[in-house]
């Protein structure tokens, strides 16, 4: 039996901000036994509990969309291209680093978003087999796409309706959820989508239905009004990226309980470093307009009760694992999400939507805690300086980072 007492001036339980502490979170054998208000007394400190002091505690963060086999910090286009032909073991080493980068940022649940090689499946197996792992992982294995369309590095090709059912059945054993590529990518120079939706409404309906029969939620790479309309009509469970969002589509998402993972990082990076891709002033203006539209609709989404979930698309060009997810909190807050909204998007909400064990800070739950040296309600920058993670036992992070 090991007992830990975690002290905090304030905490966010996953839904509610509890200010005006001090508070004590008592953890026994990895489980939260009680959360009480009041300073540490002599009696408590004499019962052989390990005491950990912090300023602020919240549930471990969730990275809702990343590709662990890719290094978003690699900015050389040729190196990135060559890497896609690297041996499986080299990719696995990269993925282990990506997972470690997530943990170092205070992330305790990662949802991968697809890789054609199955490196994500390998990582999930390693994590699941490690009883001391601080982080959990959901993985789709390989995603699906229409033949000849965008997504070769992460998705298998499907030609027709029969192929949909067959392929989903084949990839289901390695899939926590089904990742679907519904559209192409953004043409930044034109400020529009490259090509139309990959699948017809009928095909998307079959995808959703087949996934549900296999017990899988669906999440779709999808941007542009045409694709978004089809996705929400067919009842996809989560829209990934969702650029060129509209109020009308958000309305349907609110009604049907469809989540949105806005993944700002890769698009914002294009604007931060336009010289890397050679963007001129006109393209930068288009990027700014795309991001402004995103901000407006993220604010609307929070107001309308749409489930906004944090995900950075880390592994994509310029989106570094861990850091990029922290950046997403700032993008969502800048767009108009309150600190409590944004922290819920990054903790309790995705776990609830995906059927994962709750990490909310209440008695009875397994401790899955992130400790900070200051309150994000006073300054959101405190999420950039995690002290450590408590899962089963204490895992300090600050010394490593320093």
The interface region with Zn ion, picked from 117-125, 301-309, 312-320, 361-369 by CB under 5 A, is: 312-320
> Min. distance of Cβ 115 from Zn ion in angstroms?
10
> Min. distance of Cβ 370 from Zn ion in angstroms?
24
The interface region with Zn ion, picked from 14-22, 158-166, 279-287, 311-319 by CB under 5 A, is: 311-319
Show the binding pattern over residues 222-261: x = contacts Zn ion (CB under 5 A), - = does not.
----------------------------------------
User: Are the C-beta atoms of residues 97 and 70 closer than 8 Å to each other?
Assistant: no
Choose between 240 and 360: whose C-beta lies nearer to Zn ion.
240
> Min. distance of Cβ 116 from Zn ion in angstroms?
13
The interface region with Zn ion, picked from 71-79, 128-136, 247-255, 313-321 by CB under 5 A, is: 313-321
The interface region with Zn ion, picked from 274-282, 286-294, 309-317, 392-400 by CB under 5 A, is: 309-317
Please give the sequence-ordered ranges of beta strands (E in DSSP) within 174-277, or none if there are none: 178-181, 186-187, 192-193, 218-222, 238-241, 259-261
> Min. distance of Cβ 114 from Zn ion in angstroms?
7
Q: Which of residues 166-185 bind Zn ion (CB under 5 A)?
A: none
Choose between 261 and 349: whose C-beta lies nearer to Zn ion.
261
Instruction: Tell me if residue 32 falls in helix, strand or coil.
Output: strand
- Residue from the set 13, 63, 313, 341 that interacts with Zn ion by CB under 5 A: 313
Q: How far, in Å, CA of 38 to CA of 40, rounded?
A: 7
Q: Phi/psi of residue 24, each to 5°?
A: -125, 130
Choose between 311 and 388: whose C-beta lies nearer to Zn ion.
311
> Min. distance of Cβ 139 from Zn ion in angstroms?
13
User: Are the C-beta atoms of residues 40 and 51 closer than 8 Å to each other?
Assistant: yes
List Cα–Cα distances, 382 to 254, 326, 373, 379, in angstroms: 31, 10, 7, 6
Q: What is the DSSP letter of 281?
A: H
The candidate with the shortest Cα–Cα distance to 302, out of 325, 332, 331, is 332
User: Are the C-beta atoms of residues 103 and 110 closer than 8 Å to each other?
Assistant: no
> Min. distance of Cβ 206 from Zn ion in angstroms?
23
Choose between 24 and 67: whose C-beta lies nearer to Zn ion.
67
> Min. distance of Cβ 298 from Zn ion in angstroms?
18
Q: How far, in Å, CA of 215 to CA of 212, rounded?
A: 5
Residue in the structure block whose two tokens are 């604007």: 271
Element (H, E) at 256: helix 247-256
Task: Kindly tell me the sign of the dihedral angle through the C-alpha atoms of 32, 36, 40, 43.
Answer: negative
> Min. distance of Cβ 160 from Zn ion in angstroms?
25
Choose between 219 and 302: whose C-beta lies nearer to Zn ion.
219
**Strand-strand pairing, 17-18 and 10-12:** antiparallel
Q: Phi/psi of residue 11, each to 5°?
A: -150, 160
Using the CB atoms, write b or e for 101-128: b if 16+ within 10 Å. Answer: bbbbbbbbbbbbbbbbbbbbbbbbeebe
Number of residues that bind Zn ion (CB under 5 A): 2
Task: State the residue number with the nearest CB to Zn ion.
Answer: 113
Q: Which of residues 100-119 bind Zn ion (CB under 5 A)?
A: 113
The interface region with Zn ion, picked from 186-194, 202-210, 212-220, 305-313 by CB under 5 A, is: 305-313
Choose between 313 and 360: whose C-beta lies nearer to Zn ion.
313
Choose between 241 and 392: whose C-beta lies nearer to Zn ion.
241
Omega within 30 of 0 (cis) for the link into 22: yes
Q: Does residue 328 interact with Zn ion by CB under 5 A?
A: no
Choose between 4 and 67: whose C-beta lies nearer to Zn ion.
67
Q: Looking only at Cα atoms, what is the longest distance across the chain?
A: 70
> Min. distance of Cβ 193 from Zn ion in angstroms?
16
> Min. distance of Cβ 67 from Zn ion in angstroms?
6
The candidate with the shortest Cα–Cα distance to 229, out of 258, 202, 252, 198, is 252
Choose between 150 and 279: whose C-beta lies nearer to Zn ion.
150
The interface region with Zn ion, picked from 30-38, 188-196, 306-314, 367-375 by CB under 5 A, is: 306-314
> Min. distance of Cβ 130 from Zn ion in angstroms?
25
Q: What is the DSSP letter of 367?
A: P
Instruction: Tell me if residue 211 falls in helix, strand or coil.
Output: helix
Element (H, E) at 83: helix 77-83
- State the residues that interact with Zn ion by CB under 5 A: 113, 313
């Amino acid at each position: 039996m090991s007992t830990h007492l975690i002290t905090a001036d304030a905490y966010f339980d996953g839904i509610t901000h509890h200010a005006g502490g001090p508070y004590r979170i008592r953890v026994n054998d990895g489980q939260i036994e009680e959360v009480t208000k009041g300073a540490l007394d002599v009696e408590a400190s004499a019962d052989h509990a390990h005491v950990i002091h912090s300023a602020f505690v919240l549930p471990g963060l969730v990275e809702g969309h990343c590709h662990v086999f890719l290094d978003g910090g690699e900015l050389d286009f040729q190196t990135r291209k060559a890497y896609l032909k690297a041996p499986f073991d080299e990719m696995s080493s990269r993925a282990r680093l990506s997972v470690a980068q997530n943990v170092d940022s205070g992330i305790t649940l990662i949802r991968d978003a697809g890789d054609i090689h199955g490196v994500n499946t390998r990582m999930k197996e390693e994590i699941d087999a490690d009883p001391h792992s601080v982080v959990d992982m959901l993985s789709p294995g390989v995603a699906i796409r229409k033949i000849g369309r965008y997504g070769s590095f992460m998705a298998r090709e499907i030609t027709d309706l029969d192929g949909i059912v067959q392929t989903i059945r084949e990839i289901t054993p390695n899939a926590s959820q089904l990742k679907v590529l519904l559209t192409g990518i953004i043409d930044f120079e034109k400020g529009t989508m490259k090509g139309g939706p990959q699948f017809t409404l009928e095909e998307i309906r079959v995808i959703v239905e087949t996934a549900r029969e296999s017990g899988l939620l669906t999440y779709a790479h999808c941007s542009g009004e045409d694709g978004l309309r089809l996705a929400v009509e067919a009842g996809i469970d989560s829209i990934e990226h969702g650029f060129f969002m509209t109020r009308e589509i958000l309305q349907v998402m609110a009604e049907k309980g469809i989540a949105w993972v806005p993944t700002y990082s890769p698009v914002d990076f294009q604007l931060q470093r336009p010289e890397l891709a050679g963007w001129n002033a006109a393209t930068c203006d288009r990027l700014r307009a795309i991001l402004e539209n995103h901000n407006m609709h993220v604010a609307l989404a929070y107001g309308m009760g749409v489930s906004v979930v944090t995900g950075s698309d880390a592994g994509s060009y310029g989106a570094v694992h861990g850091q990029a997810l922290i950046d997403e909190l700032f993008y969502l807050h800048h767009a108009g999400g309150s600190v409590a909204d944004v922290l819920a998007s990054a903790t309790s909400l995705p776990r609830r939507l995906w059927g994962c064990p709750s990490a909310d800070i209440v008695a009875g739950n397994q401790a899955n805690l992130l400790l900070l040296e200051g309150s994000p309600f006073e300054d959101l920058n405190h999420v950039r300086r995690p002290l450590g993670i408590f899962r089963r036992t204490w895992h300090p992070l600050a010394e490593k980072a320093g």
